Structure formats: structure tokens, C-alpha cells
């Protein structure tokens, strides 16, 4: 039958769908080399290491996204780090992707020292930004096993790929809703990660924040991203000079002691704990076409991941 599958031929015999086909016993012919070349398809395998994650630090995931639009502080890339057990996620904007290795090393050292935990494994893609002598020597010194996902096998690092999609959607939506320029994308992403760390996820009953720190997070400082704000100016010198600065809310400050604001007149980000935030006014009306042109995240990769996951489930069930 000229390279028709054995399964298909058996169906023809079973349902008597054609005439002239002899009902003989069909044996599996093994590997057909022409078929293997011409009909090759992607058949991903399940990574066994996923099942061994029992506590914080068992596996750290890292990924790099970009290039993105040039931000007001000249950033084009971002490093995303996640503890696989707690789902605690960190977002670090970068000028260039070559900075990823140094920032990853610094974060891992701070995480181990601050939380008093041992990191057992690191999973990244196979790119040179993570696979180099400096990274290998550091991980060897700390006794950390480095796992690599294979090229085009996004499902092998699927958890952080899904996280990328989630925070990208939050960031994109925040920019659209507030009508903000693409140049403030790092703060939209940081705001998205702040929300991600303080909300529940499918496989957990506690937020990443609570799993790591042992206390429930507070949303007292949460305001709508991009809301118009009036920031107190501590540097005013004269009695009749303005005592406030107009800006737009860019999220909670990293030290949780105030907020971040974008000041268009200076095109810069400032931090303040003294401000009035008006959540009814934003920078401008939403400009969906502008945000769509930013290409903040490519959904084609997520579609590929979903397809790979379905294939893995099918293969495991057979």
C-alpha cells in the first residue's frame, strides 16, 4: 500500500471498506526509513525532573525575553527568574542580554542567603547567555545541577513560559488601559509580577509571597497602573512655588515603602511615599494599535507549548 500505515490498513480490513485487500495477518514492519524522513513529526518527551520538586529551591527556572521597545532607561531585554515550587517570580530589565548571567548569579546568592535555603537545580534554555564557563563554575561551586531544555522543546521549561505569557498579558493590558507609551514597559512588567506574586495559582492554596515569607501579602498599596498622580515635591524652595508634581502611577516601590511614578515632564521615574492618586484619570485614551505594534509577547510560542503538552499527555497515556 505504498507507505500507508499498518493501523490504516487494519481499519480497512476491519470495516471491509475496500475490495481486493486480502485479510492476512499484518505484522509491524518496524521503522520504515523513507517514512521516517518524509513524515517526521515532533514527538516531545516528558521531563522526569518536574516530579521531584517538593520545596522551595528544588528548581529555579530562568528565561530571557526580548528585544523589546527601548525603554526610557535604555532597556531592551529582561531576565525572568522563578522558584518552581512557590512560583515566586522576579523580573529584571536588562540593557543587553549579555547581562543575564551576572544578574542571575547575584539573585541566586541573595535568595540563598536571605531565605536560608539551598538551591538544588537550575533550568534554562540552551542559549549561550546561560551556558558558559562562568555560569558552570558558579553552579559547580554551589553544588547546583544545571538542566537545559532542548532547542524547540518549550514544554521542558513550560512553567516559566506560561508565567511569561501571564505577566506579559497583564503588562500589555495595563499599558492599553492607561494609554501609556511603550517606553515604560519595564514598570508595567514589574507591576504585573508584583500582582502575580500576591495572587493564587492553579496548583497552590497560598500565594508565592506567603509560601516564601510565611505571612499573607497586603494589597493596601495597590492602585490602578497608570493612574494620574500628584506627588509631593520635597524640594520646593519658595512659598509660591508648586508643592506637587504631576505624574502617573507605575506600581509599588520594591522596598514596599512607597510608590513609583512616571513624570512625563522629566521623562523619568521617581519614588515617593507622599502622593495623591486619582484612579479616574489616566495618561490618555487607550491606543490599542500602538500597543499591538509593540510585539511585547509572541503568542505563537505559547501555541507551540500547548501543542507539545497535548502530545506529551497523549504519549504518556499510550
What is the predicted pLDDT for the residue at 303? 47
Peptide bond just before 67 cis, omega within 30 deg? yes
- The answer to whether 259 and 223 have CB atoms below 8 angstroms apart is yes
pTM, 2 dp: 0.76
pLDDT at 171: 94
pLDDT grade for 32, boundaries at 50, 70 and 90: low
Whether residue 1 lies inside any domain: the answer is no
Residue 151, φ and ψ in degrees, nearest 5? -55, 135
Per-residue model confidence as pLDDT tens digits over 201-237: 877 899 999 999 999 999 999 999 999 999 998 766 6
Which residues are CB-contacts of 283 (< 8 A; sequence separation ≥ 6)?
Answer: 178, 179, 180, 181, 226, 228, 248, 264
Query: In this structure, is residue 31 part of a structural domain?
Result: yes
Q: Which domain holds residue 121?
A: 55-218+292-306
Please, which residues bridge with residue 83 across strands?
A: 60
- Taking residues 259-266, report their average pLDDT: 96
Q: Is residue 113 part of a domain?
A: yes
First to last CA, the chain: 26
Query: Is residue 317 domain-resident?
Result: no
Inside any domain, residue 312: no
135 shares its domain with 72: yes
Whether residues 105 and 231 fall in one domain: no
Residue 105: pLDDT band by 50, 70, 90 thresholds?
very high
Residue 179 and residue 30 share a domain: no
How far is residue 278 CA from its own chain's centroid? 30
296 and 268 co-located in one domain: no
Structural domains of the chain, count:
3
The enclosing domain of 149 has a CATH number of: 3.30.420.10
If you average pLDDT over every residue of the chain, what do you get?
82
Q: Are residues 238 and 207 in the same domain?
A: no
Are 17 and 161 contained in the same domain? no
Task: State the Cα–Cα distance between residues 298 and 301, nearest whole angstrom.
Answer: 6
Specify whether 114 is located in the same domain as 158. yes
Q: Which phi and psi angles does 4 have, rounded to 5°?
A: -75, 145
Residues found in the chain = 318
Q: Residues 117, 97: contact at Cβ < 8 Å? A: no
Q: Residue 94 falls within a domain, yes or no?
A: yes
Q: Is residue 315 part of a domain?
A: no
Per-residue model confidence as pLDDT tens digits over 139-176? 999 999 999 876 545 555 678 888 999 999 999 999 99
Domain annotation covers residue 177: yes
Q: What is the pLDDT of residue 168?
A: 93
- Regarding whether 124 and 73 lie in a shared domain, the answer is yes
Give the model's pLDDT for residue 290: 45
Residues 170 and 273 in one domain: no
Same domain membership, residue 115 and residue 85: yes
In terms of domains, do 159 and 201 share one? yes
278 and 302 inside one domain: no
Q: Which of 160, 152, 161, 147 lies closest to 43 in space, CA to CA?
A: 152
What would the pLDDT profile of 274-306 be if each residue is shown by its tens digit? 999 999 999 986 554 444 444 444 444 444 444
Amino acid at each position: 500500500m505504498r507507505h500507508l500505515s499498518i493501523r490504516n490498513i487494519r481499519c480497512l480490513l476491519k470495516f471491509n471498506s475496500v475490495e481486493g485487500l486480502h485479510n492476512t495477518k499484518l505484522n509491524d514492519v518496524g521503522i520504515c526509513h523513507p517514512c521516517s524522513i518524509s513524515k517526521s513529526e515532533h514527538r516531545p518527551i516528558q521531563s522526569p525532573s518536574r516530579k521531584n520538586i517538593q520545596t522551595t529551591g528544588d528548581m529555579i527556572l530562568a528565561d530571557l525575553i526580548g528585544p523589546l521597545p527601548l525603554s526610557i532607561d535604555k532597556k531592551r531585554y529582561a531576565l525572568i527568574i522563578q522558584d518552581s515550587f512557590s512560583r515566586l517570580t522576579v523580573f529584571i530589565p536588562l540593557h543587553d542580554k549579555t547581562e543575564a548571567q551576572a544578574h542571575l548569579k547575584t539573585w541566586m546568592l541573595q535568595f540563598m542567603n536571605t531565605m536560608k535555603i539551598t538551591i538544588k537545580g537550575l533550568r534554562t534554555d540552551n542559549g549561550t547567555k546561560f551556558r558558559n564557563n562562568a555560569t558552570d563554575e558558579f553552579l559547580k561551586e554551589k553544588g547546583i545541577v544545571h538542566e537545559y531544555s532542548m532547542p524547540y522543546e518549550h514544554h521542558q521549561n513550560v512553567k516559566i513560559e506560561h508565567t511569561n505569557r501571564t505577566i506579559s498579558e497583564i503588562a500589555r493590558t495595563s499599558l492599553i488601559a492607561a494609554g501609556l507609551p511603550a517606553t515604560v514597559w519595564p514598570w508595567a512588567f514589574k507591576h504585573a509580577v508584583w500582582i502575580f506574586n500576591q495572587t493564587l495559582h492553579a496548583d497552590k492554596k497560598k500565594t508565592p509571597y506567603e509560601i516564601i515569607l510565611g505571612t499573607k501579602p497586603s494589597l493596601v498599596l495597590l492602585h490602578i497602573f497608570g493612574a494620574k498622580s500628584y506627588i509631593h515635591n520635597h524640594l520646593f524652595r519658595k512659598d509660591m512655588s508648586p508643592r506637587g508634581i504631576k505624574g502617573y502611577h507605575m506600581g509599588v516601590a520594591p522596598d514596599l515603602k512607597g510608590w513609583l511614578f512616571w513624570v512625563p515632564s522629566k521623562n523619568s521615574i521617581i519614588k515617593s511615599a507622599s502622593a495623591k492618586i486619582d484612579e479616574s484619570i489616566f495618561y490618555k485614551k487607550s491606543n490599542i494599535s500602538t500597543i499591538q505594534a509593540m510585539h511585547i509577547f509572541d503568542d505563537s510560542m505559547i501555541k507551540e507549548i500547548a501543542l507539545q503538552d497535548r502530545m506529551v499527555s497523549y504519549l504518556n497515556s499510550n
